[in-house]
Every structure is written in C-alpha cells, then in structure tokens.
Amino acid sequence: MSQYWSAVVHGLTPYVPGEQPKLANLVKLNTNEHPYGPSPRAIDAIRAEASDALRLYPDPTAERLKNAIAVRHGITPRQVFVGNGSDEVLAHAFMALLKHDRPLRFPDISYSFYPVYCGLYGITFETVALDENLAIRPDDYLPNGDAAGGIIFPNPNAPTGRLLPLADIERIVAGNQQCVVVVDEAYVDFGGESAIALTARYPNLLVVQTFSKSRSLAGLRVGFAVGHPDLIEALDRVKDSFNSYPLDRLAIVGAVAAIEDEEYFERTCNAVIRTREQLIADLASLGFEVLPSAANFVFARHPARDAGELAAELRKQAIIVRHFRQPRIEQFLRITVGTDAQCGALIGALRKILG
C-alpha cells in the first residue's frame, strides 16, 4: 500500500532500537537501562496521580518539573526545556537549532539516531572520524576555514563510553560561537562532569539529559535540555507546533519526585559505577580489551573471538548484549552494567564460551 505514502516516508531510514524480548530469566544487558528500579518516591507519586485527575490535561509547560530541574542544577526555569524522552528533545533541537545551510557535524561513531533525524528533517551532515582509540579529538571540531552549521555529540560518547573532559567541551563550544553545540549527556551521571555549568557563559551551548538511564525511568519517557532562554524559546516554538502536552501527568509527578530523591539517585548510580569497575577488571582477565568508560555500559572486544559470534553464543544462554554491524566497531560488544549477579552471569558464560 506504499502508494499512499508521502515522498518523505519513502526516503526515511528509521532508527532501530535495541530489542526488548519478553523472555523469562533473561539477562538483559543490551539497552543501557538502570539495573535498580526508580526511586520509590517516584513510584508513590505516580500512584497518587493515577486518579480522577487524569481526566484533565497536564500542565503544557510542566512548570513543576522545570522548577525541580532548575533547583537541582542551580539555573532558572527559563533555561530548561522538557520533552517526552531526550530523543524527542533532540529531535526538536535538530529542527529548531541544527538545520542550517552549512552541514551539521558529529562523530562517525556516535548515537545512531543523529543521522536519522537528519534524514527526517532534511539536514545535511558531515561525520568526523574518532581517533584510532575511538576517542573524540576536540581539535577536529574547531573551524578550520569551514564553519559548521551545528555540532552534536554525546558525552560520554555512545557506544564507546569515553568521556571528554569539561575543558575540551569548553574549547569546542568557545571555538564555534557561530553555531549551536549540543552535548547529549545521557550517561553523564555515571562518572562525567556536566557542561550545564558552561551554559551561563555560552549562549550557543545546549545540554541534553534524560531520566531514562541514571534515574531508571526509561519507561516514563522524560528528557530535558538546558541552555540560554533564546535556545529554549526555539525548542518551545517547535514543541508547540507539534504537541502541546509531551509530558503526561504521571511523567511530570514521577520525574519531580525522582529528581528530589538525591540520596537514592547517588546510591544507585554509585552501585552501578562500582559494578562497572569490577566488570571491566573481569573482562580484562578474560583477555578483552575494554575502553575506559564513564557510562553505565562498557565497550569491549576480544582479540581472538568474533564479536558477532560471541553475542550469538551469549544469546543461547539467555544473555543479551548489543553488537553493531558497523565499520570500525563490528568487533566490539556494548555491554550494559547490570547488577553484580547479572554481570557475574555474563562473566561466567563468557568464561565457558572462551574455554
């Protein structure tokens, strides 16, 4: 029935999310979800809101959530935009701030949604190769005669897990004041330093974060951006031309309660960080080369074993990790940091597979 499709749809190459299989006893280490549940206070708040109140539309500006985010990060609510997951926030940023005549730049190995948004919005882009250690070279993002139309990269980068220090982020932002630089901080709470502090000094910097990873609320769909109020207004214009109510009532109250529960957040993220360090040591002892990670996943390859085959062998034992059939990284596995027990099961299975 594709004769009914618009020309735009014919040209789309959609993003393929990591699978969500419905198998019992699965060790699911493929989509970077947090192994510990959300704050109990978030669940209580969602329960309390699941009432007759759902009859009414939510606050279209989610003011309570913007306030809670502003308080936590020492900024004003006018510097905050919230959306239905950071994927939606990013999509609006592509349309509102990154679509220009000159090409958008991002790393060749990065979040694979970026080229998808470019396809959807008709944005031209250039990829910038990571170095031989799969690290971002900040100098490659400084204009060398040919200024970019925009720049976007995750920090820590995905799927490598590598972190760029804040001083390098600042060099890139300061050196590109002709365009917007978006820093996608989906994983920053697992060991990075946020660039939010820089937004006060750089009106061209937009920092995007999510509740999906460090707040363990992937199922609630809440993301946000922080930047100069002029950047936020651009995002609001796109949002109010698309969907006035991206966050429902449950999402607003759940996210507010989660961000207010600082103690739970710190404790569960620290637990993931501790498990990550053990996982890196265990993988290394099995002969894996593991990139340094500041995220809740590790990126590793075995010099003697094909990554696709390892992923298939693990799957037979009901352990799922992510393998990207993509040039330069086809020999790597991206492994989400689970509980100690899940990571122990992974290491046990790999020990058997490797013999």
Q: Is 321 in the site for ligand PLP (CB under 6 A)?
A: no
CB 216 within 8 A of CB 34: yes
Measure the CA–CA gap between 303 and 307, rounded to whole angstroms: 9
Question: What single letter denotes the amino acid at residue 344?
Answer: G
Task: Choose the stretch contacting ligand PLP; rule: CB under 6 A; options: 51-59, 79-87, 300-308, 318-326.
Answer: 79-87
Find the shortest distance in angstroms from Cβ 36 to ligand PLP. Answer: 17
CB-nearer residue toward ligand PLP: 153 or 305: 153
How far apart are CB 308 and ligand PLP at their closest, in Å? 22
Q: Which is nearer to ligand PLP, 70 or 218 (CB)?
A: 218
| 128 touching ligand PLP, by CB under 6 A | no
Binder among 210, 214, 296, 336 for ligand PLP (CB under 6 A): 210
Q: If you write DSSP's letter for every residue of 221-276 in order, what string do you get? A: --EEEE--HHHHHHHHHHHTTT-S--S-HHHHHHHHHHHH-HHHHHHHHHHHHHHH
Joined together, the tokens standing for residue 224 give 């946000």
Phi, psi of 333 (to 5 degrees): -115, 135
Instruction: Decide whether 95 or 186 has the Cβ nearer to ligand PLP.
Output: 186
What's the CA gap between 323 and 325, in Å, rounded? 6
Nearer to ligand PLP by C-beta: 141 or 211? Answer: 211
Measured distance CA(105)–CA(110) in Å, rounded: 11
Helix (H) or strand (E) holding 70: helix 63-73
Closest CA to 249 of 55, 103, 76: 55
DSSP character at residue 107: E
Interaction pattern, residues 83-122, with ligand PLP; x per rule: CB under 6 A:
--xxx-----------------------x-----------
Distance CA 144, CA 140 (A): 9
Closer of 210 and 350 to ligand PLP (Cβ): 210
Q: Note every long-range contact of 327-333, with CB atoms under 8 Å and residues 24 or more positions apart, other chains counting.
A: 328/108, 328/109, 328/130, 328/134, 329/109, 329/134, 329/159, 329/299, 331/301, 331/306, 331/307, 332/159, 332/299, 332/300, 332/301, 332/307, 333/299, 333/300, 333/301, 333/307
In the complex with ligand PLP, the residue whose CB is nearer, 73 or 305, is 73
Q: Which CB atom, from 204 or from 216, has the smaller least distance to ligand PLP?
A: 216
User: Residue 65 class from Cβ within 10 Å (0-12 exposed, 13-18 middle, 19+ buried)?
Assistant: buried
According to CB under 6 A, which residues from 243 to 282 bind ligand PLP?
A: none
* Between 87 and 261, CB nearer to ligand PLP: 87
Q: Toward ligand PLP, which CB reaches closer, 158 or 258?
A: 158
* Minimum CB distance to ligand PLP, residue 4 (Å): 29
Q: For ligand PLP, give the closer residue by CB, 250 or 350.
A: 250
Q: In the window 174-193, what residues touch ligand PLP (CB under 6 A)?
A: 184, 186
Give the binding range for ligand PLP (CB under 6 A) out of 22-30, 80-88, 96-104, 233-241: 80-88
Q: Are strands 297-301 and 289-290 parallel, antiparallel or unpaired?
A: antiparallel
Q: Does 223 bind ligand PLP (CB under 6 A)?
A: yes
CA 350 to chain centre: 27
Tokens of 163: 């972190």
Residue from the set 39, 212, 275, 296 that interacts with ligand PLP by CB under 6 A? 212
Which residues in 142-171 contact ligand PLP (CB under 6 A)?
A: 154, 158
Q: How far is the CB of 280 from ligand PLP (least distance, A)?
A: 19
CB 73 → ligand PLP: shortest distance, Å? 17
To ligand PLP, the closest distance from the beta carbon of 219 in angstroms equals: 9
> In the complex, which residues of this chain contact ligand PLP (CB under 6 A)?
85-87, 111, 154, 158, 184, 186, 210, 212, 218, 223
